[in-house]
Each structure stands twice: as C-alpha cells, then as structure tokens.
C-alpha cells in the first residue's frame, strides 16, 4: 500500500526479473518518530491547498473528485464545493509529517496505525494534533504475510524472525495477527527495513535471507515469492516452500486508510475541511457507480483509470495496474464512516483499533502512551445530503458453494488446511441451549474475529461423546444399530453447532452488531474426531471423566479460503 508499489506495478519488475535480488538488505533501527522528525511547527500556507495522496487504489477517488487531475479542474467535484487543491503523491510518511508540521500541507494521508505511530510527535504542540476526518478504505487484498516451511498458522510465528517495513502500513497488521494468535511482539524477532518494495532494502529482499522466516509485503511481492500464490518453487523470484499465510483479502479490517487534518486548520477552515470530506463522499458514490457500469461507460471508465495510473503510477499506460490497485481496496461510504467513527458497538471502530495498536506499539518502544485522536464529529445527515447512506448488506460468501467446499474438506480430513485461529467451547451432557450468560466471552471472541477477518470462513464444528456407541458395540449390537447411533450423533452435533451459531448471531444483534450469516459454516462431526483419539476404526474410549467431558464440545475454526475463489460472491 505504501511507497514503491508504483515501481513494482509499472515496470512489472517481478515478471521480467530472472533471479532474486542478491544485494544483502540493510536493516535499520525503528526509533520513535518523535526522535527522528525535528521539523519546526509552522503556519499553514495560504492559497492553493496541498493534499497528499499515496500509491493506493482508494486515492484514485480523491483524484476523481479533483477532476481526474492533480490540480483542481473547474468542472470537478472539489471546484463545485469551492476548493482549490494540489494533489501530491507522497509515499514517505516521514516526508508527509515534515510537510504537515511545517505547514506546507494541513492534511495527513496514511493508515490509522501510521498515525498512531506518530501520536507522540504530533501531541507535542496543540496546533498540529491531528483530527481524523474521513476513512477512505480498508485493505482487502493488497497486503500479505509470506512465510517459509513449517509455519502453518500465526501461532507458529513464535520465536521466528519477521521482516517488516519501519513506519509503514504493516506494523499494525503484524501486531494484530500476533495478538489474535495469543502472541505479542516480544515473542518474535523483527528485522526493520526502510522501504516497502522495489529496492534491496525491503521485506521481500530480506525474505531471501536464510535466517528470515516471514515477511510482511504487498501482494505483488507475495505472488512473486510464492510462484503466483501457490507455493514457491525456488525458480525465478520465488523461495522454495514459501506460501502466503494470510492476506488482507482475509484480514480485511486491520489496515484502515484515513485522512487527518491539523487542529489549527480545522478550527480556522472547518468549512473547507467539510467541503473536502463531502467531495470525497460524492466521489465515492460516483466512482462506485462508474465501476459498476464500466462496460456501458467504457470511455469514461478508461479515462478515469488512465488518470489514476498517471497520478499514482507515473504512467497512463499502467491503467490495468491502477485498476488492480483500485480493487485491492474495500471502499468506505458514508454509512461505513459513520459506523467507523461513531458506533460504540462496532468491534472495529477507530477508538478500539487505536487502543490495541497503541498497546502493541508501546511494547515495541515506538510510542510512550495510548494515542488519543480527536474526530471531526460530523453531522453525517447534513454533510451527506443527497447521498446514499445505506450500509452494504450484501453477503460475502456464496452459501451453497461454501457448504459444498466445507463438506468436501471435512470428507478429505483437510479442514485444518488454511486454519489461522481455532478455539473450543464445551457443553454439558444433553445440552441443546447455549445462552450468552454462559458463553458471552467465547461469543465476543467470535464476533471480534468475524469482524476483523471478514474474508475468512468461520466453521462451527459440533462433536459428540462416543461412549454410548462404544458401550453398544461392546454389548454386541448389530451394525445397523451402530450406524444409527453414529448418524444420530452426527445429527445431534450438527444441531448443537447450529444452535451455537444462531446464539452468536442473536447475541451480536442484541448489541447492534451485524454479522454476515454466510460467513459461518456448520459442521457435524458426531463421534468421528474425539479428543480421546481413534483406536483402530473406532473412537478410543475415554479413560477418565475429563476425556469424557472434553468430547462434548463445539470447535470454532477461522479458515481462509482465498484459493477457493468461487466461494466468494462478487462485490
């Protein structure tokens, strides 16, 4: 998402190179930004306002609002709102901070995590304390974690060496995944790099080193390292055995792209800032419609993509790359912004994310205290007059295809493939009701994971106690009776899993949290996978009461099915 995405996408460097980068990467210390940026605070310059963009698909909408030009055109959305802007692509966050603090630009453009890293620096002077004004997007496919052999899920990262760009968009990505796996940044060794892509000093370059186990990279780099997203063969740019552990197609609520503005400018130019945000909202709606109708409006769509390629990728000929960038973003509308900034029930609201990243960044020594950001507190009804403000309620998964895929994986015994997190809840004998009073903590964990990893499937897998079956078999019951007992156990486990899934959705609804039912897949294992193991062709008999009770459980498994592309509904 950051810096040299441009170099990679325009030149298609990763396609034409015939051997990996050989220069040894130069690692750096990731020091607090407060100790590395020493720009004096200046007044915001008058005249045409400079606004930063970064090389990311959602920034094409900012360009569109400006008339598909870096300078505001008279017939543009921004011009119609009385604005005169100069859009400048600046992928170096430290350079953006220098421009912002000096007054060259009143705006900051970055991820919420990047702003959190700058909290101590920007909190020194009340004039430059950032006010969050708009969320542009979430990364939904543009960023990935690549790992080497032996790492099957995030918990396996414990004790491993991970290459990561300093001050970039992947710091909060990594720390959130570690946290959800029950780890902290102290459980891994981080190698910091100055660049994101396209040079010898990037996480991709470091991944070629024998002692580096994982790297946080943009998706084109991830595809190169893994021979197109399967498994690295060692040929061309790939690393033998390398695979994508997880991308933001799965973890699609971690990297939030935002705009912020200086406090002093917000106070003195609130009308202009409001117009800027409304312009972004108008552009979002118009571009969304243009993209949907691109086959009917080919000339207009092509012009938009050429302009985006020229501004973001330095070449209008790179329009196909600009299009790919655009679709790697999940674009936020008015309803999404209102929910992100004002809905206290939203599990992924901005205050919650700032708190969790603050804790992680504090443990890394990047900041000293919990970051606190002001929000513009827009009157969304007023600022969005004439705009569609309905939330997107489309399901993300094709439930029929998903059920078929999960059934196939169950039959093949491959449900663990793609698993990123898992945990269990236990029930009592003959229990059929799962109330929030007893399971609220587990339910909250499911809601958090479902909200963060919106591109992942959550299997709810019911298991049954095999003791009744084993007693009947020992007593000499016929095969017909034994098969009936097995089928009855599958039906009961399926019923329990369904009850748990429904209880979670009802629990979320009671808190005004909307979960996508299509994200959940129900599995009834019956007695086929007991905790006590398999002895020959039958479940092993429980040896004690604990083993007996442990068999009565529902397992939650968070699985990424990115390779199963037909499972996903087109958005």
pLDDT (0 to 100) of residue 508: 95
Is 507 found in the same domain as 430? yes
Q: Compute the distance between CA of residue 396 and CA of residue 253 in angstroms, rounded to an integer.
A: 14
pLDDT (0 to 100) of residue 160: 98
List the domain range (segments joined by +) for residue 498.
Answer: 399-567
Secondary structure element (H or E) that encloses residue 461, with its range: strand 456-463
Domain end: 321, 351, 383, which one? 383
Residue 390 lies in a domain: no
Is 332 found in the same domain as 303? yes
Cβ count within 10 A of residue 514: 15
pLDDT (0 to 100) of residue 394: 61
User: Percent helix, strand and coil across the chain, each rounded to 5?
Assistant: 45, 20, 40
What CATH number does residue 197 fall under?
3.40.190.10
Is 180 found in the same domain as 233? yes
In sequence order, which ranges of 236-297 are alpha helices (DSSP H)?
263-268, 270-292
Residue 391 lies in a domain: no
Residue 37 lies in a domain: no
Of 134, 161, 336, 365, nearest to 252 by C-alpha is: 336
Is 513 found in the same domain as 421? yes
Domain end: 349, 383, 417, which one? 383
| pLDDT beneath 70: ranges in the chain | 1-22, 391-395, 562-571
Structural domains of the chain, count: 3
pLDDT (0 to 100) of residue 11: 41
Is 451 found in the same domain as 548? yes
Residue 355 lies in a domain: yes
pLDDT (0 to 100) of residue 176: 96
Condensed to tens digits (0 to 9), the pLDDT of residues 346-395 reads 999 999 999 999 999 999 999 998 899 999 999 999 999 988 777 666 66
Q: Is the dihedral of CA 258, 262, 267, 268 positive or negative?
A: negative
Strands 143-147, 243-247: pairing kind: antiparallel
Residue 26 lies in a domain: no
Q: Enter the DSSP assignment of 28.
A: B
* E strand segments, 54-118: 85-89, 107-111
**How many CA atoms lie within 13 Å of 201's alpha carbon, on the beta-carbon side?**
10
Is there a contact between 541 and 420 (Cβ–Cβ < 8 Å)? no
pLDDT (0 to 100) of residue 10: 38
| 355 conformational bin, left if phi > 0, alpha if psi -120 to 50, beta if neither | alpha
């Amino acid at each position: 998402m950051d810096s040299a995405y441009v170099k990679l996408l325009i030149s298609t460097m990763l396609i034409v190179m015939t051997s990996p980068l050989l220069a040894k990467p130069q690692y750096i210390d990731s020091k607090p930004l407060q100790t590395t940026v020493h720009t004096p605070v200046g007044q915001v310059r008058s005249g045409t306002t400079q606004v930063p963009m970064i090389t990311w698909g959602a920034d094409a909408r900012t360009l569109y609002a400006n008339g598909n030009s870096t300078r505001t055109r008279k017939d543009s959305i921004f011009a119609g709102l009385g604005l005169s802007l100069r859009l400048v692509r600046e992928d170096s966050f430290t350079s953006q901070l220098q421009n912002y603090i000096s007054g060259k630009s009143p705006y900051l453009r970055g991820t919420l995590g990047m702003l959190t890293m700058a909290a101590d620096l920007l909190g020194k002077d009340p004039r430059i304390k950032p006010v969050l004004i708009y969320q542009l997007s979430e990364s939904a496919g543009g960023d990935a974690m690549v790992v080497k052999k032996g790492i099957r899920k995030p918990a396996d990262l414990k004790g491993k060496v991970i290459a990561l760009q300093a001050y970039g968009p992947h710091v909060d990505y990594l720390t959130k995944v570690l946290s959800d796996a029950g780890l902290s940044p102290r459980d891994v060794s981080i190698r910091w790099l100055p660049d994101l892509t396209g040079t010898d000093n990037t996480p991709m370059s470091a991944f070629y080193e024998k002692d580096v186990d994982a790297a946080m990279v943009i998706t084109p780099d991830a595809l190169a390292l893994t021979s197109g997203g399967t498994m690295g063969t060692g040929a061309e740019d790939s690393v033998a055995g390398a695979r994508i552990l997880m991308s933001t197609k799965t973890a699609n609520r971690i990297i939030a792209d935002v705009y912020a503005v200086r406090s002093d400018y917000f106070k003195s130019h609130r009308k202009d800032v409001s117009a800027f945000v409304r312009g972004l909202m108008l552009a979002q709606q118009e571009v969304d419609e243009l993209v949907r109708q691109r086959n009917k409006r080919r000339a207009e769509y092509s012009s938009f993509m050429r302009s985006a390629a020229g501004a973001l990728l330095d070449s209008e000929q790179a329009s196909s790359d600009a299009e790919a960038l655009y679709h790697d973003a999940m674009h936020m509308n008015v309803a999404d912004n209102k929910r992100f900034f004002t809905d206290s029930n939203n599990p992924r609201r901005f205050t919650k994310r700032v708190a969790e990243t603050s804790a992680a960044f504090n443990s890394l020594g990047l900041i000293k205290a919990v970051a606190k950001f002001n929000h513009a507190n827009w009157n969304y009804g007023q600022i969005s007059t004439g705009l569609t403000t309905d939330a997107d309620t489309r399901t993300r998964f094709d439930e029929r295809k998903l059920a078929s895929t999960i059934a196939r994986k169950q039959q093949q015994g491959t449900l663990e493939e793609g698993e990123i997190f898992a945990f269990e809840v236990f029930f009592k004998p003959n229990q059929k009701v799962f109330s929030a009073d007893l399971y609220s903590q587990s339910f909250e964990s499911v809601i958090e994971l479902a909200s963060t990893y919106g591109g992942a499937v959550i299997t709810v897998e019911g298991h049954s106690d095999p003791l009744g079956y084993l007693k009947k078999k020992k007593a000499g019951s016929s095969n017909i009776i034994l098969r009936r007992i097995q089928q009855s156990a599958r039906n009961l486990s399926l019923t329990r899993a369904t009850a748990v899934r429904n209880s979670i959705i009802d629990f979320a609804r009671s808190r005004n949290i909307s979960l996508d039912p299509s994200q959940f897949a129900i599995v009834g294992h019956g007695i086929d996978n007991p905790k006590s193991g398999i002895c020959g062709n039958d479940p092993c008999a429980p040896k004690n009461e604990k083993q007996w009770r442990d068999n009565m459980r529902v397992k939650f498994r968070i699985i990424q099915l990115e390779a199963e592309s037909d499972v996903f509904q087109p958005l």
